[in-house]
Chain A
């Protein structure tokens, strides 16, 4: 078991390295001169060169990358050009807000999708099935940020049930979570349904029924556990989708999370923050994938590790 986890962690390393290379290159490929931004357009050549040397931008690219990695490992993600604060502090303030939203969406969509997916599978080709499947189809087609805007307009602005934007109380979480959960629930419900349908066809279900077990026991006790296995493999992909999608939702609902920090910094050309936030967000997603892989191995007894 531990060897399997170790193997997964080792396979994660080239991905992390590749990711740091890409994030590093962002600063160096982007148009605009970061030195000029700090020094100002009217700085004298000495000031300009001083800042350049101070930032280490006169070194060859490989050396700069090595310094970049060394700093990351020490926990130093640079200093924000705009706010003159360490990037790591900004991220520490905002990461919990993003994770709040992400985890809530994961839980809510799971809690809704599994029951309706089961209902759709068990009552296949009835009105219940068609209702769920049509809803799911609409759910996967609807752009999340648009749905968020519509929800905001109806429930926050018109009906005043929820605050329009910001963060803080559970009320601030409701609309963003609903907006993001629609898509996720739809995908998961479809997965649960097709997985259940596959499992119900299996011989061991036939055996359970012929043993005289109540249908409820057959479905919930035997079929469900096995049907959920592919749903767990989906978990790894979902973490990427949700955290990636939270970027746009944070903008719509004005939540000060990491995604919003990243986009604002791109416009402000505050590259240390862009790099730092992208690094942290992507690392979180990659770690989440590894966790999901391990969870899958734990849950599926057919996997040999």
Chain B
């Protein structure tokens, strides 16, 4: 039984104007800002991040770094080992391997960021809609996501290439189609828990539409696991592209994908093993960088996992 005094207090709070704005609402619910400081104190994170930054720089500055064009053939210098003129030797057409590897970073970067970027966009939107609305929308989206998720990634990528034909663009499409379901599942899970929180109810009370709540309020809080997933997806995408190009199903000659350099290295492994050794080392370094950064990121984000 509510007495009159309490009733008066209640009526007063309902009638008072809300004392926070939308911007304040967003500020208070964002990921804590000291997260960045903690991340960049972590040595492993810095090392991994440095590798990633260097990959991006090499890709952008490739024409300045590479001493030769990647497709310049020189039939009198075929299959030469490392020398001062050719730091990583030459391939079967006399092309400088170091230059080809430098330009190859562009391919890996394109696949890594563009293809994964597409997968991230599609997957995040679908996952957000499924997680926020629930019901029939969730059911339909989850059904499609589960079917896509159940497919083995390499085989699905090969299947797409078999249908669309070998080319770098088709590899990017294939990688995007193979990877979106991971994002959808992740984001849906995040939204299922986040939508029950009070700030969502507060936003609704302020009169905001659904789409605004989804993209301006809930999504920024789900960013952390999305970034962690991306640090896993990008190296996986790079390896899928390398595998497809290795099989001849990806970038076509003379495009210097690291995978296709490895493929020709395989034919000449006995007389010229360096052709195969160097691209593999590059792939390994890049994947290692992403894995280190991702590991450190996970450690910083989830203190429970700290040993």
Contacts and interface: CB of A to CB of B under 8 A. Distances in A.
Interface of A: 14-15, 18-19, 22-23, 25-26, 29-31, 124-125, 137-138, 140-143, 145-147, 149-150, 152-153, 157, 194, 197, 240-241, 243-245, 247-248, 251-252, 262-263, 266-267, 274, 278, 281-282, 285-286, 289
Contact of A152 (B248, B269, B307): B269
Contacts of A282: 151-152, 155
Nearest to A265: B162
Interface string B263-282: 00110011001001101100
A286 B147 CA distance: 11
Given A194-B305, A248-B247, 12 more contacts: A15-B147, A30-B162, A31-B165, A141-B287, A143-B239, A143-B243, A145-B243, A244-B155, A262-B158, A267-B248, A282-B152, A282-B155
B26 to A, nearest CB: 34
Nearest to A285: B152
B284 A247 contact: no
A245 B154 contact: yes
Interface in B149-207: 150-156, 158-159, 161-165
A175 to B, nearest CB: 13
Nearest to B285: A141
Contacts of B305: 194
22 contacts: A15-B146, A15-B147, A26-B163, A29-B164, A137-B291, A137-B292, A137-B295, A140-B287, A142-B280, A142-B287, A145-B246, A146-B280, A150-B280, A157-B269, A194-B305, A243-B155, A248-B243, A248-B247, A262-B158, A263-B158, A282-B151, A282-B155
| 6 cross-chain pairs, A with B, having the tightest CB-CB distances, nearest first | A146-B280, A244-B154, A240-B152, A18-B147, A141-B288, A244-B152
B150 A286 contact: yes
Contacts of B158: 247, 262-263, 266, 278
Contacts of A14: 143, 146-147
Interface residues of B, number: 44
Contact of B159 (A26, A145, A150, A197): A26
Contact of A146 (B156, B162, B164, B284): B284
User: Does more than half of chain A's interface fall in helix, strand or loop, or is it mixed?
Assistant: helix
Contacts of B269: 149, 152-153, 157
Contact of B163 (A25, A245, A286): A25
Interface of B: 143, 146-147, 150-156, 158-159, 161-165, 235, 239, 242-243, 246-249, 262, 265-266, 269-270, 273, 276-277, 279-280, 283-284, 287-288, 291-292, 295, 305, 307
A245 B277 CA distance: 20
A157 B246 contact: no
B152 A243 contact: yes
A291 to B, nearest CB: 14
Contacts of A278: 155, 158-159, 162
Contact of B276 (A30, A149, A248): A149
A95 B279 CA distance: 32
Nearest to B149: A15
B296 to A, nearest CB: 12
Nearest to B44: A137
B55 to A, nearest CB: 14
A278 B283 CA distance: 28
Contact of A142 (B150, B153, B248, B284): B284
Contacts of B155: 243-244, 247, 278, 281-282, 285
Contact of B235 (A31, A141, A267): A141
A187 to B, nearest CB: 11
Given A14-B147, A153-B273, A157-B269, A251 B247 contact: yes
Contacts of A25: 163
A149 B159 contact: no
Contacts of B266: 149, 252
A50 B133 CA distance: 53
Given A143-B280, A146-B284, A251-B247, A266 B291 contact: no
B307 A125 contact: yes
A272 B25 CA distance: 59
A30, A243, A244, A245: which has the most chain B beta carbons within 10 Å?
A: A244
A186 to B, nearest CB: 10
Contact of B283 (A146, A251, A262): A146
A192 to B, nearest CB: 15
A143 B154 contact: no
Contacts of A29: 163-164
A125 B164 CA distance: 49
A23 B158 CA distance: 11
A47 to B, nearest CB: 27
B262 A146 contact: yes
B162 A26 contact: yes
